[in-house]
Structure 1
Amino acid sequence: MAENRPVVVLVDAYTSAQYLPPQFRALGAELAHVQSTPELMSSMPAPDLGVYRHRIVHHDLDATVAQLRRLAPVCVLAGQEPGVELADVLSERLGLVGNGTARSEARRDKYAMAEALRAAGLHCADQLQSSDPEALVEWAVGTGFPVVVKPRKSAAGDNVYICGSAQEVREAAKAVLGSDTIYCETNGEALAQSFLPGTEYVVDMVSHDGRRYVCGVWEYQRRMLPSGRNIYDRERLLAADEHPAPDLIAYVDRALDVLGVRYGPSHAEVMLTPQGPALVEVGARIAGNMHPGFHDRCAGGNQATLTALAYLRPDEFDDGYAGGRFRRRGEAVCCTTSTELCGVVEGIDEAVVDEIRGLDAVYGLNLKLAPGELIRPTVDLYSSTMRIFLAAATMEDIMRDYRRIETLKDRVYRVRDIEESKR
């Protein structure tokens, strides 16, 4: 270990957590990675473990704590949702600043999350959790349709159903109970919640000792599929003082206090209902649409850099950011492309990729599939095909390029039928 270099521990640094190591290293830290499962989760792109000086596969808590204690880390934080509870335990056992374990379940389990908010007087959905589909049907009939059925501990739209009848609730509950989450956890119970009408927003923050900086407020645009699955399509950055951003920020700030999020990044999804904001869920981790350069350009800062600053240079974070809000520098949209293609990716059409990259409003894009991987009709974020970041002076400029992307997106991947690939 390099002398006098602080060690930062990330637990399950999948997907957007890839942006955290460069920011911590830029502030002089070295990285350790803790993998909470014996094997890497196949449902998500594997983290680049080459950027970590220390790599630990967690099997036994005492053993993992002992290994980390030898590294004398300055902080432990979750890279992705499945790492939240383990990061809380490890930081507490090591005596480090963190969110503690008292509210860990409420930061991870959507049922416990809503009950904690309800007990504190915050508006949220009515709900029932059960392993019995018929109990969920009976509750839904009594509550009134539509209702939402989903897993208690997943994310990214995984197995989330909007149900308009008893039979749809029954089928959705069976689908949830008959599957594992994207994080390879068995769904022992399904969660049914009252439908929250209105527009959905995202509020991203970074906290240090309960003081927060608002990194961005985004308005979701969704696309309803014939199957009843409501998939993400794009999200637009609001100005910090644009309605309803101030109300959403105030609500999320209270929710984070209730859930014990005092340190690190948070990603909250909130519905603005006729009765006011209501939490859909909050993750005590970095946002999925993170791209440091893009966020710096459109919001004057990004969650990854500020997370590193809050942990490694807390006085600088407190003096320059805590209690503050982002400043939008222009129109910005994060687009998540969907597909109806099904098969095996044979290759990438680089000419099409270059055409998309060359559009005036496109800041950058992330391809989510590689040759040899399966492509399937989109039902959630993890089955989408690309994430594209757009920034321009006007929304008209962005939407012109967005419409062009819609005509190009299914030409990016060269796809062969699965049966042909077996020959």
Structure 2
Amino acid sequence: MSANTAPASAVVVDAYTTGNHLAPAFRRHGVRVVHVQSTPALMTTMMQPDLTQYEANIVLDDAGTHLDLLRAHRPLCVVAGQEPGVIPADTLADQLGVPGNRPELSVARRDKYEMTEALRRAGVRCADQFTSADPDQITAWAAERGGRVVVKPRTSAATDHVVVCDTPGQVRQAAAEVLAARDIFGAANTEALVQAYLEGPEFKVDTVSYAGERYTCGVWQYHKRLVDGRNIYDRDEIREPEDAATLEITGYVDEVLRALGIAYGPSHTEVIVTADGPVLVEVGARTAGGLVPPFHDACLGGNQADVTALAFTDPERFRARYAGRAYRKLRHASQVYGATTLSGTVAAVDTATVERIEALGSVYRFTPKKRPGDTLRPTVDLYSTTFVAHLAAGSAEELRRDYEVLQSLKDALYVLEEA
């Protein structure tokens, strides 16, 4: 079949982790899918793209030959599969003349400092902040401002090197550790970011947009535990979509997305509701990290990957069915994360513990994150959690009971090698 008569294709850039759900979603809509790799070699710090799902894997190159290769596949859209793909996806959509988020604000959709400054310029409520390559300057800003602060990298994810600090010494140490490290995508942290600590409950809001019209796929409340300056994920729970607090949050998120120019595709936004109202933590212009399409279908009546595919392949149907609307809460639902203080080498996954967990009535899916031979270390971020469990139940009480059983079994999940 010639390039002129070939069917149109969706392009996914860097389909790591939950970006893997996009190709099957587009294919369910009868569209071929092409993968774009933004780096010469695949990144090894995340779940790899399943390249068998794609018609081709095209690697970006400085000469721009990838553009001719992509045009031969007649692209209808370009979507970021994970954080590293956000800026390349914007650029490619613009170069190929397909719907996408315009590149003028690409950096603000990727860099947490620029993200917050874009909100400030737009008059949207946001956190006080400062950035520098000098730990002493970071420390001086925090001391002058006073109060609790958060130190973090500018472009990482999964709570990587995010530290809550109360003293100048803690700030200096956290900033130095950020600057000495690479982010989870392998890039050097050339500056550290310090922001005012936001006091209040935290929420995540997952949306899909097309031409600025949005569908809210889900609003979840985070529950975390502060341990040695690290906010450790414990669980999140779906909110009632029509609750007044939920509507306030989604209204604020709409302001944020407009300020950041996110008019097309999926986004994952985290906010904290302070005494003054919702304030942004960060936005990812890509699918949510906890996306499990069948689970979200069962609990919310739809999922972010399939709605994204529909929006780009059939915009009129998206507008008729989804634009300006929100999910339905069909089940009480939660994602539970395992945390540990243990360390060692995993000798085995305890099958009896797995069977007890999977027998719980609300457990939709249970995923141990370690295998024999892996290193178990104390949990400090999302990547070092030991399992994730997706729970769905007819009542909040059933969900709570099973959550408590899960947490009571978390340290029995792995058998460690004897020292």
Change (3 A) 1:72 1:386: same
Q: Is the partner of 2:103 in helix, strand or coil?
A: coil
CA–CA distance in structure 2, aligned partners of residues 7 and 386 of structure 1: 35
Q: Which residue of 1 aligns with 2:343?
A: 342
Residue 216 of structure 1 deviates from its aligned partner by 0.7
Q: Is the partner of 1:99 in helix, strand or coil?
A: coil
Residue 130 of structure 1 deviates from its aligned partner by 0.2
TM-score normalized by the length of structure 1: 0.95
TM-score normalized by the length of structure 2: 0.96
Q: Is the partner of 1:236 in helix, strand or coil?
A: strand
Residue 100 of structure 1 deviates from its aligned partner by 1.6
Q: Which residue of 2 aligns with 1:228?
A: 229
CA–CA distance in structure 2, aligned partners of residues 389 and 144 of structure 1: 39
Give per-residue Cα distances to partners, 1:120-159, cap 9 Å, x unaligned: 1111110100001111111001111200100000111000
Give per-residue Cα distances to partners, 1:260-285, cap 9 Å, x unaligned: 00100010000100001100001100
Q: Which residue of 2 aligns with 1:388?
A: 389
CA–CA distance in structure 2, aligned partners of residues 413 and 30 of structure 1: 41
CA–CA distance in structure 2, aligned partners of residues 370 and 142 of structure 1: 47
Q: Which residue of 2 aligns with 1:237?
A: 238
State which of 166, 172, 175 in structure 1 corresponds to 2:174: 172
Q: Is the partner of 1:46 in helix, strand or coil?
A: coil
Aligned positions of 1:154-193 closer than 5 A: 154-193=156-195
Change (3 A) 1:61 1:84: farther
Letter in structure 2 aligned against 1:28: G
User: Does the 8 Å CA contact 1:5/1:28 hold for their aligned counterparts?
Assistant: no
Larger displacement relative to structure 2 (10-19 or 76-85): 10-19
Is the counterpart of residue 264 in structure 1 residue 265 in structure 2? yes
Aligned positions of 1:81-100 closer than 5 A: 81-100=83-102
User: Does the 8 Å CA contact 1:206/1:307 hold for their aligned counterparts?
Assistant: yes
CA–CA distance in structure 2, aligned partners of residues 156 and 252 of structure 1: 20
CA–CA distance in structure 1, aligned partners of residues 61 and 410 of structure 2: 41
Q: Which residue of 2 aligns with 1:40?
A: 42
User: Does the 8 Å CA contact 1:44/1:382 hold for their aligned counterparts?
Assistant: no
Residue 114 of structure 1 deviates from its aligned partner by 0.4
Is the counterpart of residue 248 in structure 1 residue 249 in structure 2? yes
Letter in structure 2 aligned against 1:397: E
CA–CA distance in structure 2, aligned partners of residues 238 and 163 of structure 1: 30
Q: Is the partner of 2:136 in helix, strand or coil?
A: helix
Residue 61 of structure 1 deviates from its aligned partner by 5.8
Q: Which residue of 2 aligns with 1:16?
A: 18
CA–CA distance in structure 2, aligned partners of residues 74 and 347 of structure 1: 46
Larger displacement relative to structure 2 (31-40 or 175-184): 31-40
Larger displacement relative to structure 2 (346-355 or 122-131): 346-355
Change (3 A) 1:359 1:244: same
State which of 219, 222, 246 in structure 1 corresponds to 2:221: 219
Residue 4 of structure 1 deviates from its aligned partner by 5.0
Aligned positions of 1:252-401 closer than 5 A: 252-401=253-402
Change (3 A) 1:356 1:56: same
Q: Is the partner of 1:352 in helix, strand or coil?
A: helix
CA–CA distance in structure 2, aligned partners of residues 21 and 383 of structure 1: 27
Unaligned runs of 5+ in 1: none
Residue 252 of structure 1 deviates from its aligned partner by 0.4
Give per-residue Cα distances to partners, 1:44-91, cap 9 Å, x unaligned: 122222222211233326122222122221111111111100111111
CA–CA distance in structure 1, aligned partners of residues 357 and 26 of structure 2: 31
Letter in structure 2 aligned against 1:371: P
State which of 137, 141, 144 in structure 1 corresponds to 2:143: 141
Q: Is the partner of 2:35 in helix, strand or coil?
A: strand
CA–CA distance in structure 2, aligned partners of residues 189 and 251 of structure 1: 28
Q: Is the partner of 2:392 in helix, strand or coil?
A: strand
Letter in structure 2 aligned against 1:194: A
Letter in structure 2 aligned against 1:365: F
Change (3 A) 1:373 1:403: same
User: Does the 8 Å CA contact 1:268/1:282 hold for their aligned counterparts?
Assistant: yes
Aligned positions of 1:49-88 closer than 5 A: 49-60=51-62, 62-88=64-90
CA–CA distance in structure 1, aligned partners of residues 67 and 369 of structure 2: 34
Letter in structure 2 aligned against 1:339: T
User: Does the 8 Å CA contact 1:38/1:58 hold for their aligned counterparts?
Assistant: yes
RMSD between aligned residues: 1.6
State which of 191, 194, 204 in structure 2 corresponds to 1:202: 204
Q: Percent identity?
A: 47
Q: Is the partner of 2:45 in helix, strand or coil?
A: coil
Is the counterpart of residue 412 in structure 1 residue 413 in structure 2? yes
Residue 370 of structure 1 deviates from its aligned partner by 3.2
Letter in structure 2 aligned against 1:150: K
Q: Is the partner of 2:46 in helix, strand or coil?
A: coil
Change (3 A) 1:211 1:180: same
Larger displacement relative to structure 2 (403-412 or 153-162): 403-412
Question: How many residues are treated as equivalent by the alignment?
Answer: 417
